[in-house]
Amino acid sequence: MFETAEVGNSISKEKYKQEVAAVREKLLEIQKELAVSKCSAIVVVGGVEGAGKTEVVNQLLEWMDARGIETHALEKPTDEEIQRPYMWRFWRLIPPKGRMAIFLGSWYTMPIVYKTFKKMKDKDFQEHLDEIVSFENMLSKEGVILIKFWLHIKKDLLIKRMKKLEKDPLQSWRITKRDWNFVKKYDRFREVSETALGVTNTKDASWLIVEAEDFRYRNITVAKNIIKKLEQRRQLSQKESDFPLSARKFEHASNNIFKTLDYSRKVEEKEYEKKLPELQKELYKSVQKMQKKDKSLILVFEGPDAAGKGGTIRRIIKGLNAKDYRVISVAAPTDEEKARPYLWRFWRYLPRKDKITIYDRSWYGRVLVEKIEGFCSDDEWKRAYSEINQFEKELSDFGIIILKFYLSITPQEQLKRFKERQTTPYKQYKITPEDWRNRAKFRSYEACAIEMFEKTSMPFAPWFVIAANDKNYARLEVLGIITRELKEKVK
């Protein structure tokens, strides 16, 4: 794979001067276009140590308008990062629409370096690469333009280059011990990188291997390729006609889980009052055990309006320590959220180790309300299932326990609750005209939920569908399931 970058490409001083003028103009032009587009761009600069990654980036920042660009050089993860799944630190850094981020060291660094220094098993390496492919695929679909460079330089030339820099008193500081350590592992590093690049060289996130011996050739090649990639995307976006999105209707499938629910289940007040504190105490104990094992917990609540999500959550948190949990009520995204891939706003609030995040509505909005109301395109909700599964798999692999609850009520019960809300003063805030509009789509909502259960109920992140016509029953049921599942999953 690297042979194409070992042919001695170079550019003369004069030609470079001409090229630079043209390239700068073009870069700025295309950057301005990006600024007003619906896309963002991520430039990944990888390659062997000493090939001049930092220099390329400095050069790009000099040629472009540095104000639209953020540079991220990766170092040792912080403890806030260590305590969350591997990709969290990269999600944090995804640029908003219109902007470009340059990664000096990226999600490739850890797997490649660990594999090179034999600190990672084959299987884990492969799994990381698979995750990366899904991640980049998702980014690309969400409008992030991925431009990946690998700076390559032959071993003998690399050593020559480093020795030369070391001799120059003004440049010697650029060469560190770390660089020499990498030279020792050059062959293995090359082999590992070749595998990594091969697997992750996908259609929407292809690698360009850049011969880095001649700095002029290197800089111009990188710049030209950025221009090319951004131009390609522009042409593509122009072709994509913007269909106006509109509301959709869905029919129940034959395997209607809601028909199998027993909505008549009921718990009398007296029993409820007795059992609730017992279950809360149990919950508290299971959470303590979970924390001893350094695990964390995500609870997801979905269900139609007035199904009792908020009330159930309140009963759960009464059995928790305020310092251990966080309730995220998912409403309209902020503009910082809207400017980034869909899942960004949920990654933001992932629990640290030993902690709990309760999502009152969640990423499943994409395949429920957004799908029905036409807030997203067909492509978007259709690919959401696998994106969500991938997302939850990563969390689960990291040791996060995920439990998803769907509180189901009948349309009759919903109507009753709506009316009650309208007549109880302190409940009025809960009912809005939108709730009545949503009610008209009750069956579509259920149909979407059925598809959702089918496609996203996984062993590592199961759905629990609860008949919630009786609030007491539903609350005890949820509390019981959480405690039971925690006991099973924390051993």
Binding region for its own copies (CB under 8 A): 21, 24-25, 27-29, 31-32, 54, 57-58, 61-63, 65-67, 70-71, 73-75, 78-80, 104, 169-170, 173, 277-278, 281, 284-285, 310, 313-314, 317-318, 321-324, 326-327, 329, 331, 334-336, 360, 425-426, 428-430
Q: Kindly state the DSSP code that residue 487 receives in the 8-state scheme.
A: H
When the beta carbons of 317 and 368 are compared against its own copies, the nearer one is: 317
In whole angstroms, what is the distance from residue 94 CA to residue 136 CA? 12
In whole angstroms, what is the distance from residue 185 CA to residue 239 CA? 47
When the beta carbons of 72 and 228 are compared against its own copies, the nearer one is: 72
When the beta carbons of 141 and 326 are compared against its own copies, the nearer one is: 326
In whole angstroms, what is the distance from residue 427 CA to residue 237 CA? 47
DSSP β-bridge partners for residue 166: none
When the beta carbons of 212 and 450 are compared against its own copies, the nearer one is: 212
H or E element, residue 484: helix 471-489
When the beta carbons of 384 and 479 are compared against its own copies, the nearer one is: 479
In whole angstroms, what is the distance from residue 255 CA to residue 39 CA? 40
As measured in angstroms, the least distance from the Cβ of 250 to its own copies is: 27
When the beta carbons of 228 and 285 are compared against its own copies, the nearer one is: 285
As measured in angstroms, the least distance from the Cβ of 215 to its own copies is: 14
Note whether 125 and 20 are within 8 A (CB): no
When the beta carbons of 57 and 147 are compared against its own copies, the nearer one is: 57
When the beta carbons of 270 and 323 are compared against its own copies, the nearer one is: 323
Which one-letter amino acid corresponds to residue 141?
K
In whole angstroms, what is the distance from residue 300 CA to residue 357 CA? 9
Nearest-10 Cα torsion for 174, 178, 184, 186: -70
In whole angstroms, what is the distance from residue 111 CA to residue 126 CA? 9
Q: Write out 365-383 in H/E/C secondary structure.
A: HHHCHHHHHCCCCHHHHHH
As measured in angstroms, the least distance from the Cβ of 319 to its own copies is: 9
What count of other Cβ atoms lies within 10 Å of the Cβ of residue 169?
Answer: 7
As measured in angstroms, the least distance from the Cβ of 73 to its own copies is: 3
Query: What distances in angstroms separate CA 119 from CA 82, 122, 125, 215, 480, one per listed residue?
Result: 17, 10, 10, 33, 41
When the beta carbons of 62 and 397 are compared against its own copies, the nearer one is: 62
As measured in angstroms, the least distance from the Cβ of 65 to its own copies is: 6
In whole angstroms, what is the distance from residue 347 CA to residue 279 CA? 30
Dig out the tokens for 11 from the structure: 């550019």
In whole angstroms, what is the distance from residue 22 CA to residue 75 CA? 35
Instruction: Read off φ and ψ for residue 73, nearest 5 degrees.
Output: -105, 130
When the beta carbons of 136 and 354 are compared against its own copies, the nearer one is: 354
Which one-letter amino acid corresponds to residue 71?
T
In whole angstroms, what is the distance from residue 153 CA to residue 164 CA? 15
As measured in angstroms, the least distance from the Cβ of 235 to its own copies is: 22
As measured in angstroms, the least distance from the Cβ of 465 to its own copies is: 23
DSSP β-bridge partners for residue 71: 102
When the beta carbons of 43 and 384 are compared against its own copies, the nearer one is: 43
Half-sphere exposure (CA, 13 Å, Cβ side) for 395?
29
As measured in angstroms, the least distance from the Cβ of 64 to its own copies is: 9
DSSP β-bridge partners for residue 103: 44, 72
As measured in angstroms, the least distance from the Cβ of 429 to its own copies is: 5
When the beta carbons of 282 and 387 are compared against its own copies, the nearer one is: 282
As measured in angstroms, the least distance from the Cβ of 249 to its own copies is: 29
- Unique residue bearing structure tokens 């508290």: 284
As measured in angstroms, the least distance from the Cβ of 397 to its own copies is: 23
As measured in angstroms, the least distance from the Cβ of 292 to its own copies is: 15
Query: What distances in angstroms separate CA 472 from CA 114, 415, 486, one per listed residue?
Result: 52, 18, 21
Note whether 385 and 350 are within 8 A (CB): no
When the beta carbons of 61 and 247 are compared against its own copies, the nearer one is: 61
As measured in angstroms, the least distance from the Cβ of 438 to its own copies is: 16
